[in-house]
Structure 1
Protein backbone atom coordinates (compact mmCIF):
# COMPACT_ATOMS: atom_id res chain seq x y z
CA UNK A 1 0.00 0.00 0.00
CA UNK A 2 2.70 2.52 0.98
CA UNK A 3 5.72 2.48 -1.32
CA UNK A 4 7.12 6.02 -1.23
CA UNK A 5 7.30 7.72 2.16
CA UNK A 6 8.37 11.27 2.99
CA UNK A 7 9.85 11.76 6.46
CA UNK A 8 10.37 15.43 7.31
CA UNK A 9 12.68 16.11 10.27
CA UNK A 10 14.08 19.06 12.13
CA UNK A 11 16.77 16.94 13.76
CA UNK A 12 15.26 17.20 17.24
CA UNK A 13 15.31 14.12 19.46
CA UNK A 14 11.60 13.47 18.90
CA UNK A 15 11.90 13.94 15.14
CA UNK A 16 14.86 11.55 15.15
CA UNK A 17 12.68 8.93 16.84
CA UNK A 18 10.06 9.54 14.15
CA UNK A 19 12.71 9.01 11.46
CA UNK A 20 13.75 5.73 13.09
CA UNK A 21 10.11 4.64 13.31
CA UNK A 22 9.62 5.62 9.66
CA UNK A 23 12.65 3.58 8.64
CA UNK A 24 11.34 0.54 10.53
CA UNK A 25 7.88 0.98 8.97
CA UNK A 26 9.36 1.34 5.47
CA UNK A 27 11.40 -1.83 5.98
CA UNK A 28 8.26 -3.73 7.05
CA UNK A 29 6.20 -2.64 4.03
CA UNK A 30 9.03 -2.62 1.48
CA UNK A 31 8.90 1.13 0.85
CA UNK A 32 11.55 3.66 -0.08
CA UNK A 33 11.93 6.86 1.92
CA UNK A 34 12.90 10.45 1.41
CA UNK A 35 14.16 12.18 4.53
CA UNK A 36 13.65 15.91 4.20
CA UNK A 37 14.59 18.89 6.30
CA UNK A 38 13.47 22.48 5.92
CA UNK A 39 15.41 25.32 7.50
CA UNK A 40 13.86 28.69 8.04
CA UNK A 41 15.72 31.71 6.69
CA UNK A 42 17.25 34.15 9.15
CA UNK A 43 14.75 36.55 10.74
CA UNK A 44 15.83 39.95 11.99
CA UNK A 45 13.15 39.66 14.69
CA UNK A 46 12.77 36.16 16.06
CA UNK A 47 11.78 34.04 19.06
CA UNK A 48 14.32 31.36 18.05
CA UNK A 49 17.25 31.42 20.51
CA UNK A 50 19.71 30.41 17.78
CA UNK A 51 18.67 33.36 15.64
CA UNK A 52 18.76 35.82 18.55
CA UNK A 53 22.39 35.00 19.32
CA UNK A 54 23.69 34.77 15.73
CA UNK A 55 24.43 36.93 12.78
CA UNK A 56 22.79 36.01 9.48
CA UNK A 57 25.99 34.38 8.22
CA UNK A 58 26.51 32.38 11.41
CA UNK A 59 22.88 31.28 11.49
CA UNK A 60 22.87 30.16 7.86
CA UNK A 61 26.15 28.24 8.29
CA UNK A 62 24.90 26.52 11.45
CA UNK A 63 21.56 25.70 9.80
CA UNK A 64 23.27 24.13 6.78
CA UNK A 65 25.61 22.11 9.02
CA UNK A 66 22.75 20.91 11.24
CA UNK A 67 20.66 19.90 8.21
CA UNK A 68 23.58 18.06 6.59
CA UNK A 69 24.38 16.18 9.80
CA UNK A 70 20.72 15.31 10.39
CA UNK A 71 20.29 13.97 6.85
CA UNK A 72 23.58 12.05 6.86
CA UNK A 73 22.66 10.32 10.12
CA UNK A 74 19.22 9.38 8.79
CA UNK A 75 20.71 8.08 5.53
CA UNK A 76 23.22 5.95 7.49
CA UNK A 77 20.47 4.41 9.65
CA UNK A 78 18.27 3.72 6.61
CA UNK A 79 21.14 2.07 4.73
CA UNK A 80 21.94 -0.07 7.79
CA UNK A 81 18.30 -1.21 7.80
CA UNK A 82 18.38 -1.92 4.06
CA UNK A 83 15.82 0.78 3.25
CA UNK A 84 16.35 2.80 0.05
CA UNK A 85 16.77 6.41 1.13
CA UNK A 86 17.10 9.77 -0.58
CA UNK A 87 17.71 12.96 1.38
CA UNK A 88 16.97 16.56 0.53
CA UNK A 89 16.74 19.94 2.16
CA UNK A 90 15.15 23.31 1.48
CA UNK A 91 14.91 26.72 3.08
CA UNK A 92 11.67 28.68 3.34
CA UNK A 93 9.53 30.62 5.78
CA UNK A 94 6.56 28.31 5.15
CA UNK A 95 7.86 24.96 6.33
CA UNK A 96 4.55 23.11 6.13
CA UNK A 97 3.97 24.19 2.51
CA UNK A 98 7.45 23.01 1.55
CA UNK A 99 6.82 19.61 3.18
CA UNK A 100 3.57 19.19 1.24
CA UNK A 101 5.20 20.42 -1.99
CA UNK A 102 8.05 17.91 -1.56
CA UNK A 103 5.62 15.06 -0.88
CA UNK A 104 3.69 15.92 -4.03
CA UNK A 105 6.86 16.34 -6.12
CA UNK A 106 8.20 12.89 -5.20
CA UNK A 107 4.81 11.19 -5.45
CA UNK A 108 4.79 10.22 -1.77
CA UNK A 109 1.86 8.14 -0.64
CA UNK A 110 2.53 8.73 3.07
CA UNK A 111 4.15 11.39 5.25
CA UNK A 112 5.56 10.29 8.61
CA UNK A 113 6.46 13.09 11.00
CA UNK A 114 6.79 13.94 14.67
CA UNK A 115 4.55 16.20 16.68
CA UNK A 116 6.20 18.07 19.52
CA UNK A 117 2.82 18.59 21.14
CA UNK A 118 3.20 22.28 21.84
CA UNK A 119 0.12 23.65 23.46
CA UNK A 120 -1.16 26.89 24.86
CA UNK A 121 0.75 30.07 24.10
CA UNK A 122 3.60 28.17 22.42
CA UNK A 123 1.21 26.76 19.84
CA UNK A 124 -0.39 30.15 19.28
CA UNK A 125 2.91 31.98 18.80
CA UNK A 126 4.90 29.33 16.96
CA UNK A 127 2.10 27.33 15.41
CA UNK A 128 2.41 23.67 14.65
CA UNK A 129 4.00 22.56 11.41
CA UNK A 130 2.47 19.13 11.93
CA UNK A 131 -1.03 20.55 12.39
CA UNK A 132 -0.65 22.63 9.24
CA UNK A 133 0.56 19.61 7.23
CA UNK A 134 -2.41 17.59 8.53
CA UNK A 135 -4.81 20.39 7.66
CA UNK A 136 -3.54 21.13 4.16
CA UNK A 137 -2.17 17.83 2.83
CA UNK A 138 -4.22 15.46 0.71
CA UNK A 139 -1.57 12.78 1.34
CA UNK A 140 -2.05 10.58 4.43
CA UNK A 141 0.02 11.69 7.44
CA UNK A 142 1.18 9.36 10.21
CA UNK A 143 2.10 11.32 13.36
CA UNK A 144 4.72 10.04 15.78
CA UNK A 145 4.26 11.18 19.38
CA UNK A 146 6.19 9.88 22.32
Structure 2
Protein backbone atom coordinates (compact mmCIF):
# COMPACT_ATOMS: atom_id res chain seq x y z
CA UNK A 1 0.00 0.00 0.00
CA UNK A 2 2.79 2.46 0.88
CA UNK A 3 5.81 2.95 -1.37
CA UNK A 4 7.75 5.65 0.47
CA UNK A 5 7.33 6.54 4.14
CA UNK A 6 8.82 9.65 5.71
CA UNK A 7 9.48 9.52 9.45
CA UNK A 8 10.25 12.77 11.27
CA UNK A 9 12.32 12.49 14.42
CA UNK A 10 13.86 14.78 17.00
CA UNK A 11 15.58 12.06 19.00
CA UNK A 12 13.05 12.17 21.86
CA UNK A 13 11.72 8.99 23.45
CA UNK A 14 8.37 9.42 21.69
CA UNK A 15 9.94 9.99 18.30
CA UNK A 16 12.11 6.89 18.79
CA UNK A 17 8.87 4.91 19.08
CA UNK A 18 7.66 6.55 15.87
CA UNK A 19 10.92 5.55 14.13
CA UNK A 20 10.55 1.95 15.29
CA UNK A 21 6.97 1.86 14.03
CA UNK A 22 7.96 3.43 10.70
CA UNK A 23 10.73 0.86 10.20
CA UNK A 24 8.27 -1.96 10.95
CA UNK A 25 5.64 -0.49 8.63
CA UNK A 26 8.19 -0.02 5.84
CA UNK A 27 9.33 -3.63 6.23
CA UNK A 28 5.73 -4.91 6.12
CA UNK A 29 4.93 -2.95 2.95
CA UNK A 30 8.34 -3.35 1.28
CA UNK A 31 8.44 0.45 1.23
CA UNK A 32 11.36 2.85 1.13
CA UNK A 33 11.92 4.89 4.28
CA UNK A 34 13.10 8.47 4.56
CA UNK A 35 14.28 9.46 8.05
CA UNK A 36 14.21 13.22 8.58
CA UNK A 37 15.33 15.48 11.36
CA UNK A 38 15.09 19.24 11.35
CA UNK A 39 18.15 21.00 12.73
CA UNK A 40 17.35 24.40 14.23
CA UNK A 41 19.26 27.49 13.26
CA UNK A 42 20.88 29.46 16.03
CA UNK A 43 18.99 32.64 16.95
CA UNK A 44 20.76 35.49 15.16
CA UNK A 45 19.97 38.43 17.42
CA UNK A 46 18.84 39.47 20.85
CA UNK A 47 15.31 39.83 19.52
CA UNK A 48 15.33 36.15 18.55
CA UNK A 49 15.79 35.31 22.22
CA UNK A 50 19.50 34.60 22.41
CA UNK A 51 22.71 36.27 23.35
CA UNK A 52 24.72 37.42 20.39
CA UNK A 53 27.85 35.47 19.51
CA UNK A 54 30.43 35.82 16.78
CA UNK A 55 29.71 34.25 13.41
CA UNK A 56 32.41 31.67 14.12
CA UNK A 57 30.81 30.66 17.43
CA UNK A 58 27.36 30.42 15.84
CA UNK A 59 28.80 28.26 13.04
CA UNK A 60 30.50 26.01 15.62
CA UNK A 61 27.23 25.57 17.54
CA UNK A 62 25.21 24.87 14.39
CA UNK A 63 27.84 22.37 13.20
CA UNK A 64 27.67 20.56 16.55
CA UNK A 65 23.88 20.33 16.23
CA UNK A 66 24.19 19.05 12.65
CA UNK A 67 26.75 16.41 13.68
CA UNK A 68 24.50 15.23 16.51
CA UNK A 69 21.56 15.03 14.08
CA UNK A 70 23.64 13.05 11.57
CA UNK A 71 24.72 10.62 14.29
CA UNK A 72 21.07 10.04 15.19
CA UNK A 73 20.18 9.49 11.52
CA UNK A 74 23.10 7.08 11.07
CA UNK A 75 21.80 4.98 13.99
CA UNK A 76 18.32 4.93 12.44
CA UNK A 77 19.81 3.91 9.10
CA UNK A 78 21.66 1.01 10.72
CA UNK A 79 18.45 -0.21 12.39
CA UNK A 80 16.44 0.08 9.18
CA UNK A 81 19.03 -1.76 7.10
CA UNK A 82 19.15 -4.53 9.71
CA UNK A 83 15.38 -4.90 9.21
CA UNK A 84 15.85 -5.09 5.44
CA UNK A 85 14.43 -1.61 4.78
CA UNK A 86 15.80 0.68 2.08
CA UNK A 87 16.48 4.04 3.70
CA UNK A 88 17.55 7.58 2.93
CA UNK A 89 18.29 10.14 5.62
CA UNK A 90 18.07 13.92 5.64
CA UNK A 91 19.04 16.58 8.17
CA UNK A 92 17.36 19.81 7.15
CA UNK A 93 18.34 23.16 8.68
CA UNK A 94 15.21 25.18 9.45
CA UNK A 95 13.41 27.06 12.17
CA UNK A 96 10.05 25.97 10.80
CA UNK A 97 9.86 22.28 11.65
CA UNK A 98 6.40 21.48 10.30
CA UNK A 99 7.00 23.30 7.02
CA UNK A 100 10.32 21.46 6.62
CA UNK A 101 8.60 18.10 7.21
CA UNK A 102 5.91 18.86 4.63
CA UNK A 103 8.48 20.11 2.09
CA UNK A 104 10.62 17.01 2.60
CA UNK A 105 7.60 14.75 2.11
CA UNK A 106 6.99 16.43 -1.25
CA UNK A 107 10.65 16.37 -2.27
CA UNK A 108 10.98 12.65 -1.53
CA UNK A 109 7.57 11.84 -3.04
CA UNK A 110 6.38 10.22 0.18
CA UNK A 111 2.91 8.78 0.49
CA UNK A 112 2.83 8.68 4.31
CA UNK A 113 4.30 10.82 7.09
CA UNK A 114 4.96 9.19 10.45
CA UNK A 115 5.67 11.31 13.50
CA UNK A 116 5.16 11.44 17.24
CA UNK A 117 2.68 13.53 19.14
CA UNK A 118 4.27 15.27 22.08
CA UNK A 119 0.98 15.69 23.87
CA UNK A 120 1.26 19.32 24.93
CA UNK A 121 -1.84 20.49 26.75
CA UNK A 122 -3.33 23.69 28.07
CA UNK A 123 -1.36 26.91 27.97
CA UNK A 124 1.84 25.25 26.69
CA UNK A 125 -0.02 24.11 23.58
CA UNK A 126 -1.43 27.59 23.03
CA UNK A 127 1.92 29.31 23.53
CA UNK A 128 4.21 26.79 21.86
CA UNK A 129 1.87 25.38 19.25
CA UNK A 130 2.26 21.88 17.91
CA UNK A 131 4.45 20.91 14.98
CA UNK A 132 2.48 17.69 14.62
CA UNK A 133 -0.80 19.61 14.56
CA UNK A 134 0.59 21.91 11.87
CA UNK A 135 1.63 18.94 9.73
CA UNK A 136 -1.78 17.32 10.24
CA UNK A 137 -3.64 20.41 9.12
CA UNK A 138 -1.38 21.47 6.24
CA UNK A 139 -0.20 18.23 4.65
CA UNK A 140 -2.08 16.70 1.75
CA UNK A 141 -0.63 13.31 2.67
CA UNK A 142 -1.87 10.87 5.29
CA UNK A 143 -0.11 11.41 8.64
CA UNK A 144 0.30 8.62 11.18
CA UNK A 145 0.70 10.15 14.64
CA UNK A 146 2.03 7.93 17.41
CA UNK A 147 1.79 8.53 21.14
Superposed CA offset, 1:59-88 (max 9, x none): 313311221111001000000100000001
Aligned with 1:33: secondary structure?
Answer: strand
Gaps in structure 1 of 5+ consecutive residues? none
CA shift, 1:58, in A, is: 4.5
TM-score by structure 1 length? 0.89
Report which of the two structures shows the higher radius of gyration computed on alpha carbons. 2
Give the alignment of 1:104-143 within 5 angstroms. 104-143=106-145
The equivalent of 2:99 in structure 1 is 97
Whole-Å Cα distance in 1 between the matches of residues 33 and 139 of structure 2?
A: 18
Residues paired across the two proteins, number:
140
TM-score by structure 2 length? 0.88
Whole-Å Cα distance in 2 between the matches of residues 68 and 131 of structure 1?
A: 25
Gaps in structure 2 of 5+ consecutive residues? none
Moved over 6 A (4+): none
The equivalent of 1:37 in structure 2 is 37
Tell me if the contact between 2:66 and 2:91 (Cα under 8 Å) persists in the aligned partners.
Answer: no
